[in-house]
Amino acid sequence: MVKEIAPYGFWPSGISAGLVAGQSVRFGFLQSSGDWIYWTESRPEEAGRAVLMRGRPGHEPQELLAAPYSARSKVHEYGGGEFLVAGDRVFFSNDADQDVYTFRIDQAAGADTIEAPERLTAAPDMRFADFAHDPAHDRLIAVCERARDGSGDGDHQYPENMIVSIGLEGDRFGHVEVLVRGRDFYACPRVRQDGTMICWVAWDLPDMPWEQASLHVGGLGDDGLAGAPERIAGGDGVSVFQPEWSRKGDLLFISDASGWGNLYKWDGAKVERVVSMEAECGRPHWVFGMRSYAESQSGNLGIAALEEGEVRFMVLDRAGGVTTPRAIETGFTSIENVNPTKDGFVAQVTTAEMPAAIAVFDGPGGATEIIRQSADVALEGADISVAKVIGFEGDGGDLVYGQYYPPASKDWSGPDGELPPVIVMVHGGPSGMAQRGFQWKVQYWTNRGFGVFDLDYSGSTGYGRAYRKRLDGQWGVRDVADVVAAGRYLAGAGLADPGRLLVSGGSAGGYGVLMALAAADLFAAGACYYGISDLVQLLKFTHKFEGGYLFGLTGTGPDDFETVLRARSPLSHIDRMTSPLIVFQGLDDKVVPPEQSRMIVDGLKARGVAVEYHEFEGEGHGFRKGATIKAALEAEAAFYRRVFEG
């Protein structure tokens, strides 16, 4: 079939913004229990309500939580770990009131009788997440965040974080008792199968958990901890991630002590590395419940490792005494939240041609079965843009990585000799990483004749601790230089029209957009989603979880931050911004408040720079409603068209 010719960026496309919004189901926490797999999915058509689901091979997925309930935790503002299945009981944190609810389920296949949830806690000053069951003591264990009483000032306004128990029966039903307190943050409370020990991860301001976090263990008794807890790993510049008690009773966890997040174990006496490889098995702990490995019921360990930005699934036959993992070909471009099944594993996955899905696959690389897909619309092969990982020379000569998606359409092609516009996408975090695999939003652009370059700038996860630490003290400098270098690389390599380079990002990525527009006269336009414009104001009003993050990122401390933060703020460089800008902001954003967007918009308008601003009621940090996603995408596309048409 002969393709029709149209300018790049103006191709007609059947991938509408409404289709993207409607196919934007987002999976949350994932857990396997018995033969069932449980997960939450946030649905744009229900204003982002997080529905609790379950499924298993050979059976249709089943909805377990009816409206108005929504399983979502707000601990650390980012949440995660919002539910737990323990036998025939389900516990979840309800979005509206942040209390814990419980109900029973029938484990039989096809059973459709579901109890109405019963309120377990009544604690308006508390929020709960990251649950564990302690059957030996008939209680639930959770991370708890309790609001202060409003007295005091400064740091004293931050909530108190702790590990608590919640009684499940009799006169202790719903009663909350503190088990562990005294540190700024806690995560991953996990009870050993025999109920005699508990582990947890802790860290303090100004650190983020991927910068430095320690792993502790303690004995458990009826009234709390039995004896003083012991720190067994982490701290002193080392981070730990995802502790799990193994079937043998030893404690597995990820540590980056070697410079790479590798798997370790503690046998009760000593710590030793289980797997040694120059690949990243850890993840930045932005939300609770993240899992990069699991032990199957047959004793195999499955590990999703990142090597030069690409995922490899490794299997270690630990039960058979094997010490070297072997790579298994899965065909997946991302593998997250790995959980065990009887003979293999289940995880949230994508491929180059399939959007996010929950899939069961066995360890030896056999059959894969999709339990749930995030979208029920498929594209034809020629309409799908497949990413190519590209390494290029960034700031200072170091190698920087990104994923390039070329324009793709079965019906349309660009004129001979014309190069496409390319959107350089800047992820948030900034310790995050570009999403892997099929994404509807990317295909929306590429099917219209845009290229997309999803950048893993210095500081991103997936390339080891040294790559991430490149950004220490250099936020607003090195990451921005990488954004600019990416644009110049794309133009120099003949992948992008130098006059139609665009830059888009959200949160810390939105900050990168603003700083890149100020740093170089390179980008024709930018799109900033809930981005940061004033670091001094951000530090004053940000939430506890990120209360010290700026210090490490900018190389400052509590006594010398203001001069540096002002110098790194986009507002301080507004006189150097000349390219058109479109800005999107949720009015309920507690992470980056609306004033951050309003200040940059007002400043640019005062200087006569073309700027367009969109605010959305009922949206926080990251848009969840279908109508919002649709409106923002349509506005961004129309904005680019106007820029190109002059």
User: What was the pLDDT predicted at 308?
Assistant: 82
Percent of the chain exceeding pLDDT 90 equals: 78
Within a 10 A sphere around the Cβ of 114, how many other Cβ atoms? 17
For the chain, how many residues are written? 646
pLDDT for 423 equals: 98
- Structural domain boundaries in the chain: 4-16+379-645, 291-376
pLDDT at 320: 55
What is the reported pLDDT for 364? 55
* Both tokens assigned to 342: 């009887």
pLDDT beyond 70 at 155:
no
* CA distance readout (Å), 61 to 108, 212, 238, 370, 372: 13, 39, 40, 11, 7
Closest CA to 503 of 455, 466, 460, 535: 455
The conformational region for residue 259 under phi > 0 = left, psi -120 to 50 = alpha, else beta, is left
Dihedral, 473, 233, 276, 209 alpha carbons, nearest 10: -40
Q: Which tokens belong to 499? A: 């006059």
Closest alpha carbon to 284 in 179, 152, 173, 433: 433
- Residue 612: partners with Cβ closer than 8 Å, 6 or more residues away: 580, 581, 582, 583, 635, 639
* Strand 525-529 relative to strand 501-506, pairing: parallel
- For residue 625, the SS3 value is coil
Residue-wise pLDDT tens digits, 493-536:
999 999 999 999 999 999 999 999 999 999 999 999 999 999 99
pTM metric for this prediction: 0.90
Mean pLDDT of 556-561: 88
Instruction: Report the top-level CATH class of 4-16+379-645.
Output: alpha beta
DSSP state of 629: H
Distance, in Å, from the CA atom of 304 to the CA atom of 370, rounded to the nearest integer, reads 18
Would you tell me the crossing angle of helices 508-519 and 478-492 to the nearest 10 degrees?
A: 70
Q: 496 is written with which tokens?
A: 């992008």
pLDDT in tens, 282-308: 999 999 999 999 998 888 899 999 998
Q: Are strands 118-119 and 224-234 parallel, antiparallel or unpaired?
A: unpaired
Q: What order of strands is seen across the sheet that includes strand 422-426? A: 388-393, 399-405, 451-456, 422-426, 501-506, 525-529, 581-586, 611-616
* All residues at 6 or more sequence positions from 409 whose CB lies less than 8 Å from its CB, including other chains: 3, 11, 13, 382, 383, 447, 449
How would DSSP label each residue in 71-105?
B---TTTT-B--EEEETTEEEEEBTTT--EEEEEB
Please answer whether residues 126 and 177 qualify as being in contact, where contact means their C-beta atoms are separated by less than 8 angstroms.
no
Specify whether the CB–CB gap between 77 and 590 falls below 8 A: yes
- Look-up: residue for tokens 């289980």? 274
Selection from 599, 586, 600, 590 nearest residue 628 by Cα:
586
Q: Which pLDDT belongs to residue 643?
A: 97
At residue 323, the pLDDT reads 65
**Phi, psi values for residue 20, rounded to 5°:** -60, -45
Taking 90 as the threshold, does the pLDDT of residue 147 lie above it? yes
Report the pLDDT value the prediction gives residue 153, as an integer from 0 to 100: 43
Integer Cα distance of 563 and 611 in angstroms: 28
Biggest CA-to-CA distance, the chain: 77
Cis peptide before 415 (omega within 30 of 0): no
Tracing tokens 């990317």 back to the chain, one arrives at: 442
**pLDDT of 268 higher than 50:** yes
pLDDT digits (tens, 9 = 90+) for 370-424: 999 988 777 888 999 999 999 999 877 899 999 999 999 999 999 999 999 999 9
In b/e form, how buried is each residue of 497-517, taking b as 16+ CB within 10 angstroms?
beebbbbbbbbbbbbbbbbbb
Classify burial at 466, counting beta carbons within 10 Å of its beta carbon; exposed 0-12, middle 13-18, buried 19 or more.
exposed
Number of Cβ within a 10 Å radius of residue 219? 15
Query: What percent of the chain has pLDDT above 70?
Result: 96
Per-residue pLDDT tens over the stretch 190-246:
999 999 999 999 999 999 999 999 999 999 987 788 789 999 999 999 999 999 999
DSSP string, 27-42: EEEEEEETTEEEEEEE
Q: Please say whether the dihedral angle defined by the alpha carbons of residues 55, 60, 66 and 71, taken in this order, is positive or negative.
A: positive
SS (H, E, C) 215-251: EEEEEEECCEEEEEEEEEEEECCECEEEEEECCCCCE
Q: Judge contact between 176 and 164, C-beta under 8 A.
A: yes
The secondary structure of residue 146, as a DSSP letter, is E
| CA distance to 342, 406, 525, per residue, from 432 (Å) | 32, 23, 24
Instruction: Please report which helix (H) or strand (E) contains residue 487, including its range.
Output: helix 478-492
Give the model confidence (pLDDT) of 601-628 as tens digits: 999 999 999 999 999 999 999 898 889 9
Give residues with Cβ within 8 angstroms of 155, minimum separation 6. 205, 547
Identify whether the C-beta of residue 293 lies closer than 8 Å to the C-beta of residue 312.
no
How far, CA to CA in Å, does 597 sit from each of 408, 594, 608, 633? 33, 5, 17, 18
The H or E element that residue 272 is part of is strand 271-273
pLDDT at 154 (0 to 100): 43
